[in-house]
Structure 1
Amino acid sequence: MTVTDAARESVESALEVTKVDSHLHPEGSFDVADHPVPTGREEVWRFTPLKRLRDLHADADLSGTHVGAEADAPDGVRIESFEADSPLRGSSGFVPVDRVSARVWHEAARRYAVTVPRETELDAPVFIDMRGTGIDEASATHLVLTAEPHSKATVVFRFIGSATLADLTEIVVGDGAQLTVVSIDDWEDDAVHLGHRHAQVGRDATFKHVDVSFGGNVVRHDTTAEYAGPGGSVEMLGMYFADGDTDHGGQHIEHRLFVDHTAPNTRSNVIYKGALQGEGAHTVWIGNVLIRKVAEGIETYEENRNLVLTDGCQADSVPNLEIETGEIEGAGHASATGRFDDEQLFYLRSRGVEEAEARRLVVHGFFNDLIRKIDVPAIEEKLTETVEAELAKNVLKGFPGSVA
């Protein structure tokens, strides 16, 4: 579980990883004092409604225990819990880049380690439910997930209930391992969740991360990945659905991604899709890929698509590429935000499909290709049902201001 500073420096030296100045990935530090309380004027916080975070971004007491873990795992998977005064020192290379993650690393009241042993191939997913039982006290959790070399596993996190939560998940994908992590925010409408996920992908390893955000009042996820050797592959998939006019204000769902190509001949592919409906619904997607000088022969692509279903919504989408070497296979990005495709609706209506059903089919078509990429049948079926339930809230009822 522990990696020494000398070992980390040796790896960095071997890969020639040097410091790169960028406002999108600030220099990290474990010292909380190095991270001032954000004001909202910073580039990395300018989209986030700080006043609705219940002070998680500042100095909220994180000693609450209103969020606990319930696990269902196949034989052979090791699941451990640790005392609050025993900080986990995972080997993911994670270093906090903001005050929230630094405080969680030091102060989390609940800490867990999940390990898939070397050369183990699981025949069923690991399910971990992070259940919240109240919003009055802020909670913090820290989990280290390790897929040891040449293992193969799928781990599903489900965030449910009510909570004010700041969490940190470190993920280590060993050499030659294949790991899929699915994270589902299915909170009640009053939840606030600031999540940090950091993955280190080993030589010739494959990592797929699926991030699904439907529930909660304010959800902000920072997801980062780096490489510990050549040949690694990262796939980040995400889907989200934001509603407006809730009792706690329109939903704010924010995803910030950073893929750091720290080794040659690595791959990354990012696809996120979101839908919005109702007054005050707000989504944010910030994608950033850094291709360092050492990362020759890499290939990367990032894409974000947003479908605006009613008036009164706002979708912010900002893709970024930072390239320090021209010796690459390819790099690109795409971003689009739009309303219903009038031609698709006209085509369906002209063939006798009722308007509500036509809208439903268009939205399902928007999400279905992404859902199929998850490759966890039980999750795929559940997500299809959830999309249907979200649509029933407004669009299929003829929500005022819906796009004709």
Structure 2
Amino acid sequence: MTQVSTDHSRATLAGDHSHGSAPAADKADKPRSFELSAFPIPGGREEDWRFTPIARMADLFADELTGSAPDITFDGVRLDEGAADLPFDVVFDSCPCVGSVGAPSDRTAVVAWANRGTPTCVTISESLERPYVFEIVGNSSEAAAQHLTLNITEGVTATVVLRHTGTARLTQTVEIDVAEGANLTVVTTQEWDEDAVHAAAHRISAGKDAVVKHIAVTLGADLVRLTTDVEFAGEGADVELLGLYFTDAGQHHEHRLFMEHRLPNCVSDATYKGALQGKDAHAVWVGDVLIGHDATGTDTYELNRNLLLTEGARADSVPNLEIETGEIAGAGHASATGRFDDEQLFYLMSRGVPEDLARRLVVRGFFAELINRIGVPEVQDRLIAAIEAELDQTMALVK
């Protein structure tokens, strides 16, 4: 594809350093607080909000939200109704772990905390071969908040899927606490109805030698703004962040990552890919990595790629590195946004491939490597089907 890119190869960097198309902020001073007053309602000029259409989510900034949070079900059973045979422990409201994985870092996150109501705290202490699939189904157009905590105990291997469907205007917190030596794959899919608005703050704590794969798939809704903050709580932790989004006309999909390396010998890797089509389709990706003074031996890389399938779509991509020690294994980032490559299309068509199939092949190839890295067959199959449905729309737009 024809690309506009910034590409920095993996290298060992010394001293204070930062990259990005926006003015670099000091990520070491990123604000965090459980107090509403710490985060005034944004006006749109703030660095963290300058890409966001805040008027479309203004009701999620209010001090008090009165809407009903989406239901959370597992195997058809609502968690708040209880079940004796669930393969995990669930506690409501009084669990001391609620709020233990860092504090909110923006306005919608602190509103979610202030309006958390009865939090849901899930503790997984048993390894299952099949994924733990939680259906989060919205049925209200009134602004609401929700708080979910996932605790993965020491040495457990688990896959958790959070599937969001229905309609909602929701600000949500998901705390993910992964204990020493645990191995977690967590998938969040945003498959909302077209009128939904979803602001989500995912806060991850990775313990010593823990392995975490966090996968964000965003396909639906009018607006999605997902922030993922990673804290390395023990040496040797390894965190991989993967994301895929397909943004249609009028949709706004925004993903913001913050990986905070404060301990030695931890690894982080982020790869996000998005395709956009239609008038006013807008995707935003911001990746921030902070490597502190004591985080020697850190190895980190972040990558974002965007494919513009039609005229009228826009993607903003901002990678940033802030490095406070030169004693690291490697750090780098790459970002590219480009339109559909006519040369690739011509190459395929010159070899007898019909145009509509050629377009599908190019887009499938763009996403293939990322889909294969997900490693959850159920999610991969649904994702491939969803991309095929999106490509049907693409064919209609280009004809």
Per the normalisation by structure 1, the TM-score is 0.87
Q: Deviations over 1:45-102 (max 9, x none)?
A: 000001100421244x42321511111399663242525xx58643743111122212
Tell me the residue number matched to 1:68: 71
Instruction: Return the alpha-carbon distance in structure 1 between the equivalents of residues 252 and 365 of structure 2.
Output: 24
- Check if 1:53 corresponds to 2:41: no
Distance of aligned partners of 1:77 and 1:203 in 2 relative to their CA distance in 1, 3 Å threshold: same
Tell me the residue number matched to 1:30: 34
Q: CA deviation at 1:26?
A: 2.3
- Check if 1:125 corresponds to 2:124: no
Q: How many residues align?
A: 368
Q: From 59, 75, 82, give the equivalent of 2:92.
A: 82
Tell me the residue number matched to 1:276: 276
Matched to 2:67, the amino acid is G
Matched to 1:399, the amino acid is V
Q: Confirm or deny: 8 A CA contact 1:129 1:157 kept in the other structure.
A: yes
Q: CA deviation at 1:111?
A: 1.7
Instruction: Return the alpha-carbon distance in structure 2 between the equivalents of residues 356 and 39 of structure 1.
Output: 43
Instruction: Return the alpha-carbon distance in structure 1 between the equivalents of residues 58 and 195 of structure 2.
Output: 11
Tell me the residue number matched to 2:19: none
Q: Confirm or deny: 8 A CA contact 1:217 1:252 kept in the other structure.
A: yes
Matched to 2:398, the amino acid is F
Tell me the residue number matched to 1:113: 121
SS at match of 1:97: coil
Q: CA deviation at 1:398?
A: 4.3
Instruction: Return the alpha-carbon distance in structure 2 between the equivalents of residues 194 and 289 of structure 1.
Output: 21
Instruction: Return the alpha-carbon distance in structure 2 between the equivalents of residues 176 and 193 of structure 1.
Output: 32
Distance of aligned partners of 1:242 and 1:110 in 2 relative to their CA distance in 1, 3 Å threshold: farther
Q: Deviations over 1:361-382 (max 9, x none)?
A: 1001111110111111111011
Tell me the residue number matched to 2:165: 160
Tell me the residue number matched to 1:11: none
Tell me the residue number matched to 1:210: 215
Instruction: Return the alpha-carbon distance in structure 1 between the equivalents of residues 107 and 97 of structure 2.
Output: 18
Q: Deviations over 1:207-236 (max 9, x none)?
A: 000000000001000101011110000000
Distance of aligned partners of 1:357 and 1:25 in 2 relative to their CA distance in 1, 3 Å threshold: farther
Q: From 36, 40, 44, give the equivalent of 2:44.
A: 40
Q: From 204, 226, 231, give the equivalent of 1:226.
A: 231
Q: Confirm or deny: 8 A CA contact 2:101 2:176 kept in the other structure.
A: no
Q: CA deviation at 1:242?
A: 0.6
Instruction: Return the alpha-carbon distance in structure 1 between the equivalents of residues 254 and 215 of structure 2.
Output: 15
Per the normalisation by structure 2, the TM-score is 0.89
Q: Confirm or deny: 8 A CA contact 1:115 1:146 kept in the other structure.
A: yes
Q: What pairs up with 1:318-337 in 2 under 5 angstroms?
A: 318-337=318-337
Instruction: Return the alpha-carbon distance in structure 2 between the equivalents of residues 285 and 257 of structure 1.
Output: 8
Q: Which deviates more, 64-73 or 191-200?
A: 64-73
Q: Which deviates more, 49-58 or 222-231?
A: 49-58
Q: From 184, 201, 216, give the equivalent of 2:206.
A: 201
Distance of aligned partners of 1:89 and 1:95 in 2 relative to their CA distance in 1, 3 Å threshold: same
Instruction: Return the alpha-carbon distance in structure 2 between the equivalents of residues 303 and 134 of structure 1.
Output: 36
Instruction: Return the alpha-carbon distance in structure 2 between the equivalents of residues 382 and 24 of structure 1.
Output: 39
Distance of aligned partners of 1:236 and 1:261 in 2 relative to their CA distance in 1, 3 Å threshold: same
SS at match of 1:382: helix
Q: Confirm or deny: 8 A CA contact 1:62 1:108 kept in the other structure.
A: no
5+ residue gaps, structure 1: 1-20, 245-249
Instruction: Return the alpha-carbon distance in structure 2 between the equivalents of residues 294 and 346 of structure 1.
Output: 52
SS at match of 1:44: helix
Q: Deviations over 1:282-327 (max 9, x none)?
A: 0000000000011000100000000000000110000000000000
SS at match of 1:381: helix
Q: CA deviation at 1:30?
A: 1.0
- Check if 1:399 corresponds to 2:398: yes
SS at match of 2:357: helix
Instruction: Return the alpha-carbon distance in structure 1 between the equivalents of residues 86 and 167 of structure 2.
Output: 31
Q: CA deviation at 1:160?
A: 0.2
Instruction: Return the alpha-carbon distance in structure 1 between the equivalents of residues 100 and 31 of structure 2.
Output: 16
Matched to 2:87, the amino acid is V
Q: Confirm or deny: 8 A CA contact 2:74 2:135 kept in the other structure.
A: yes
Q: Confirm or deny: 8 A CA contact 2:95 2:121 kept in the other structure.
A: no
Instruction: Return the alpha-carbon distance in structure 2 between the equivalents of residues 219 and 93 of structure 1.
Output: 22
Instruction: Return the alpha-carbon distance in structure 1 between the equivalents of residues 28 and 54 of structure 2.
Output: 18
Q: RMSD over aligned Cα, in angstroms?
A: 1.8
Q: What pairs up with 1:285-300 in 2 under 5 angstroms?
A: 285-300=285-300
Identity of aligned residues (%): 49
Distance of aligned partners of 1:88 and 1:307 in 2 relative to their CA distance in 1, 3 Å threshold: farther
SS at match of 2:288: strand
Q: Which deviates more, 291-300 or 29-38?
A: 29-38
Instruction: Return the alpha-carbon distance in structure 2 between the equivalents of residues 23 and 298 of structure 1.
Output: 17
Distance of aligned partners of 1:301 and 1:104 in 2 relative to their CA distance in 1, 3 Å threshold: same
Distance of aligned partners of 1:80 and 1:87 in 2 relative to their CA distance in 1, 3 Å threshold: closer
Q: Confirm or deny: 8 A CA contact 2:135 2:164 kept in the other structure.
A: yes
Q: Confirm or deny: 8 A CA contact 2:242 2:270 kept in the other structure.
A: yes
